[in-house]
Structure 1
Amino acid sequence: MTDDRVIVKCLVWDLDNTLWRGTLAEGDDVVVPEEVRRVVAELDARGVLQSVASKNDHDLAWARLEQVGLAEYFVLPHIGWGPKSASVRAIAERLNFAESTIAFVDDQPTERAEVAFHLPEVRCYPAERAADLVGLAEFSPPVVTEDSARRRRMYQAGFRRDAEREGFTGPDEDFLRTLDLRMTVVRATERELARAAELTLRTSQMNATGVPYDDDALRGLMSDPEHEVLVVGMSDRFGPHGAVGIVLLRRGSDVWHLKLLATSCRVVAFGAGSTLLNWIVDRAARAGVHLAADFRPTDRNRMMDIAYRFAGFDDEACGCLLPLGPVAVDGVQRLHLLPEPRPVSPVVTLDAVDLEVAHG
């Protein structure tokens, strides 16, 4: 059973008589229809990743994809002779995507049935519907951001990064130093608004509350001089990671209230969360204020709880918390820290906004 409200994050293509007309192994001069080319390009522009699950000779099929100018669009292709359900499952696991966000298109009813039997949450479509996929709601994200349009390239850079890490001999910190990691923290503008809202919805493992904020809610905070809506970006020598985090902070005279801190799970291994949290703690210490942080435990954000506790936040009551009033959402805990100056990161170069200068 699939949920039509869930947006597809990756479409897996069969090749013969699906992506192209003809059967490669039979010597056909396979041709990609123009309407299929347009679908591939449009889904890529929307941020929908695409892959391949095809029963074919790998080298021959990949060479043909390169010849027709489409190879660059596909991540983690599985071209071989195993069950297609195994290929689709491996793609989903490597991307760390829920199976409900995966789609599969194939001309053969038996192949679609095999995938549907083993992976009932995967959406399956016949090849004759391929040209119509861009018009379906599940392939139409409500907002297409700058990061959406380059999502495939960011994932491809990530795979190259992972491959280099596997070949690196030495401690993780030494490898991170080779990446030339850079983080930016900027005040959100209208340009970043959609991506900021998306981050509150899509991040779960490193999300302090799991409370979503839509464009209007964020715009209201942006217009309030006491609030900061900060968007976090990251890059390294392989390329940009895009927007990877959001901070919602209310700066009072005696206490700064960290309403939300969320970072993408893609950059956890690079110390993005700890770098960001250490920067906030250090800035609060230099401003001479206490820090309060909202935290609501969910079934996925145990890592965020550990990050707060490791940074020194606790449940101790403090008079500085009283002016903040009651928590706004059931289940939210309000943590407290009396901050002291601290180094931000030994491996990440940080370029951040000055929080001691009020915005707008």
Structure 2
Amino acid sequence: MTTQMGFAEMMQSLHAGSAALDYRKTGRLLREMEAQAGVHVALMGNVTLDLLTPFLRVEAAKVGQMSAFHVSPFGQYMQALHGEALQRFDPHVIVLLLSAEAMRPDAFERFHQLSVEDRHRLRDDMMAEVEGWIDSAVMRTAATLMVANFPCPASALGVADLSSDYGEREFFLDLNLALLRAVRARPRAMMLDVVAAMGRVGTRQAVDRRMHYVAGLGWTDAMMREFGAVFAHALVGALGAARKCLVLDLDNSLWGGVAGEDGPHGIRVGRGDMVGEAFRAFQLRIKALKERGILLALCSKNNPEDVEEVFRLRDDMPLQLSDMAATAIGWDSKYTGIEKIARQLNIGLDALVFLDDNAAEIAAVRQYCPEVHAVLLPPDPSDYVDILDALPWFEKSRLTAEDRARTEHYALAARRDGLCASCDPMDYLRDLDMRAAVRDAGPADLLRVHQLFNKTNQFNLTTGRPTMGEVEAMMTDPAWQLIVADLRDRFGQLGTVGICALRREGAALHIGHFLMSCRAMGRGLEHAMMNEVKRRFLESDAASLHGTYVPTAKNGPVRGFFDDQGFAASDGGDRTDYALCRADVAFRDCDWIMLETE
């Protein structure tokens, strides 16, 4: 059993950084706590995967995912998909790591004797095997599939390989491009970029030939750490665990210098100056996060007028105030400003990442807002981009239209708030001119539905977090009805903002999930959604309609939702179960929302 001292040491080492971390010792401590694991990860391949497990386990824990691991027998990655052991383990994620040379040893031993046509056939044959594995895994499991690409070995032809017709380098580039396209075409699959990881470590520092001959996996500890980090980034994306907002300091963080002292033209950001170039590159990288649907915010101790002047006069900067979803500029403490930003955006503190160059400010935020992931920027601004890239908290497995429009959604919300402040609440709802479509989900909704399941906390009656495979199953299983709600108003589109999943069990119809994005709260859309559920209930031959409320730290606003909808409660211990019979069905008025048919 893990001792209290061992646990404390483990947590300290997790926060100490990779250089000070004993992955094998920490991995053993984490393994003793596998009973608490919320994520099941299966490893398959034709290399010795047991060596990797401590590194994957620790890196997963560093992003808050306590994980249990199942390693399939060496080389039996196709057979393992059909085995009972995998079914019992019920993985959320399956990692496939293959050595190209081990897949086709005879062909690679005589690669340079193969004709160009034979090399093409070798590529197609390998891809057919990998795609066959992916398709079989999709059919047999509900897991997210993470498939590693293939690093190119050093060619025996040296530089001549690069001028050869379909040489070894070109072969591997082509193979990995085919793999990328195959993975992209399958929504539940992701690629783990071993090639990029090896490039960051350096091939000579990543490869240990002796370990390859001894253990079947010729990676150094440095390479296994980097692969673990790649896995952790992918895990954040796969589980929808990305944080929602990056909060930024200004002086010596977003630009060089102090706005109030150096003035708009004295701060350093822009071309032609080494320091200015570094800050410009950092701003460009931050701006790119908006494309992932990450909100940007400013929290700085400054005179608001000085900050506004900088942005007004320095329109050459990549970032402008219009890119910010919220700001807290003034002389309050940074942690007070961060709390203000969270309230303004209606998100939890655990959805924020804060970057600052001041160690004292970072320490204060960590003390008073421990849910926020606070990152101290290094002294050299040329390192800022690498620091940002190393953060796993902004990863998405795929991007949706809602992601790209998220900052615009918050800007429109501010305009709606302005309307709300100027009139009666009911007049406000009618003035919004809302139009809603409550409809069956289709394949095109998969990514957004999975995202909503994993991101919605406040208006979420059970806070279930189904995997993408489980969402796919709901869409195809006749026992389930997966309903989504789209909303727009006179200010613009809010997109798909609500989900209800109904499941038939015998003579009863169960509401397995009922949730709605926080940006749609307070509009009455939940009544339109529940009215549709009640309509479907009455049109069915089910005798009763059932629902469950599972309380969490964040879903208090919906504690009385089923009561308000006429359901009768029964105590279920740590949850409340509800039931509604046909005779007691009553529809809630929400005539300020116009329902549209598809």
Name the TM-score, length of structure 2 as normaliser: 0.52
Q: Is the 8 A contact 1:103 1:124 kept in 2?
A: yes
Instruction: State the match for 1:21 in structure 2.
Output: 256
Say whether residues 1:350 and 2:585 are aligned partners: no
Q: CA deviation at 1:214?
A: 1.4
Say whether residues 1:167 and 2:226 are aligned partners: no
Distance 1:102 1:315 in 2: 36
Q: CA deviation at 1:36?
A: 1.6
The equivalent position to 2:322 in structure 1, one of 54, 72, 79, is 72
Say whether residues 1:242 and 2:512 are aligned partners: no
Instruction: State the match for 1:98 in structure 2.
Output: 348
CA separation of 1:13 and 1:301: change in aligned 2, threshold 3 A:
closer
Instruction: State the match for 1:319 in structure 2.
Output: none
Q: Is the 8 A contact 1:296 1:333 kept in 2?
A: yes
Moved more, 183-192 or 43-52: 183-192
Q: CA deviation at 1:48?
A: 1.4
* C-alpha distance after superposition, 1:16-50 (max 9, x if no partner): 22112233222314425332232222211112111
The equivalent position to 1:306 in structure 2, one of 560, 566, 590, is 560
* C-alpha distance after superposition, 1:259-285 (max 9, x if no partner): 222112332210111121122213433
The equivalent position to 2:377 in structure 1, one of 112, 126, 142, is 126
Q: CA deviation at 1:202?
A: 2.4
The equivalent position to 1:10 in structure 2, one of 242, 245, 248, is 245
Q: Over alpha carbons, which structure has the higher Rg?
A: 2
Say whether residues 1:114 and 2:351 are aligned partners: no
Moved more, 55-64 or 155-164: 55-64
CA separation of 1:120 and 1:190: change in aligned 2, threshold 3 A:
same
Instruction: State the match for 2:298 in structure 1.
Output: 52
Distance 1:291 1:125 in 2: 55
Instruction: State the match for 2:462 in structure 1.
Output: 209
Instruction: State the match for 1:358 in structure 2.
Output: none
Distance 1:209 1:290 in 2: 23
Name the SS of the counterpart of 2:393 in structure 1. helix
> Which amino acid in the other structure matches residue 97 of structure 1?
I
> Which amino acid in the other structure matches residue 85 of structure 1?
Y
Instruction: State the match for 1:137 in structure 2.
Output: 392
Q: Is the 8 A contact 1:282 1:343 kept in 2?
A: no
The equivalent position to 2:514 in structure 1, one of 258, 261, 264, is 261
Moved more, 108-117 or 130-139: 108-117
Give identity over the alignment, percent: 27
Q: CA deviation at 1:349?
A: 1.0
Instruction: State the match for 1:324 in structure 2.
Output: none
> Which amino acid in the other structure matches residue 193 of structure 1?
L
The equivalent position to 2:577 in structure 1, one of 329, 333, 336, is 333
CA separation of 1:29 and 1:264: change in aligned 2, threshold 3 A:
closer
> Which amino acid in the other structure matches residue 418 of structure 2?
A
> Which amino acid in the other structure matches residue 287 of structure 2?
A
Q: Is the 8 A contact 2:450 2:468 kept in 1?
A: yes
Instruction: State the match for 2:485 in structure 1.
Output: 232
Q: Is the 8 A contact 1:11 1:48 kept in 2?
A: yes
Distance 1:109 1:331 in 2: 43
CA separation of 1:310 and 1:81: change in aligned 2, threshold 3 A:
closer
> Which amino acid in the other structure matches residue 57 of structure 1?
N
Q: CA deviation at 1:289?
A: 4.8
Instruction: State the match for 2:205 in structure 1.
Output: none
Q: Is the 8 A contact 2:566 2:586 kept in 1?
A: no
Greater RCO, 1 or 2 (C-alpha within 8 Å, sep 6+): 1
What is the aligned residue count? 340
> Which amino acid in the other structure matches residue 167 of structure 1?
S
The equivalent position to 1:40 in structure 2, one of 286, 297, 302, is 286
Name the TM-score, length of structure 1 as normaliser: 0.83
CA separation of 1:306 and 1:82: change in aligned 2, threshold 3 A:
closer
CA separation of 1:75 and 1:342: change in aligned 2, threshold 3 A:
closer
> Which amino acid in the other structure matches residue 106 of structure 1?
D
Which runs of no fewer than 5 residues in structure 1 stay unpaired?
Answer: 317-326, 354-360
> Which amino acid in the other structure matches residue 581 of structure 2?
L
CA separation of 1:313 and 1:121: change in aligned 2, threshold 3 A:
closer
Distance 2:330 2:588 in 1: 50
Q: Is the 8 A contact 1:105 1:130 kept in 2?
A: no
Distance 1:161 1:47 in 2: 21
Distance 1:303 1:337 in 2: 25
Q: Is the 8 A contact 1:285 1:341 kept in 2?
A: no
Instruction: State the match for 2:409 in structure 1.
Output: 154
Distance 1:83 1:229 in 2: 45
Q: CA deviation at 1:61?
A: 1.5
Q: Is the 8 A contact 1:100 1:121 kept in 2?
A: yes
Q: Is the 8 A contact 2:537 2:545 kept in 1?
A: no
Which structure has greater helix proportion? 2
Distance 2:558 2:330 in 1: 40
> Which amino acid in the other structure matches residue 166 of structure 1?
A
Q: CA deviation at 1:352?
A: 4.4
Q: CA deviation at 1:183?
A: 1.3
Name the SS of the counterpart of 2:500 in structure 1. strand
Distance 1:157 1:247 in 2: 26
Instruction: State the match for 2:436 in structure 1.
Output: 183
Q: CA deviation at 1:51?
A: 0.8
Q: CA deviation at 1:178?
A: 0.2
